[in-house]
Homo-oligomer: A and B are copies of this chain.
Amino acid sequence: MKLEEAKKEFILLWGNFGSQWGINKAMAQVHALLLTSDDPLCTDEVMEKLTISRGGANTSLRELTRWNLIYKVTVDGDRREFFSAEKDMWNVAKRITRERKRREIEPLILHLDRLKSIDEQNESTANFVGIVEDIERLVTRMDKFSEMLMKLEENAFFGSLLRMKK
DSSP majority for the A interface? helix
**Contact B138–A89 (Cβ < 8 Å):** yes
**Contact A120–B2 (Cβ < 8 Å):** yes
Q: Number of contact residues on A: which range applies?
A: 35 or more
**Contact A20–B17 (Cβ < 8 Å):** no
Kindly supply a per-residue 1/0 record for chain A positions 1-39, scoring 1 wherever the CB is within 8 Å of any chain B CB and 0 otherwise: 111001101100100010010100000000000011010
Chain B residues in 8 Å Cβ range of A145: 145, 149, 162
Cβ-based interface call for A66 (8 A): no
What are the 9 closest A-B residue pairs judged by CB atoms, nearest first?
A: A89-B134, A6-B115, A89-B138, A3-B118, A3-B120, A145-B149, A3-B125, A20-B104, A36-B128
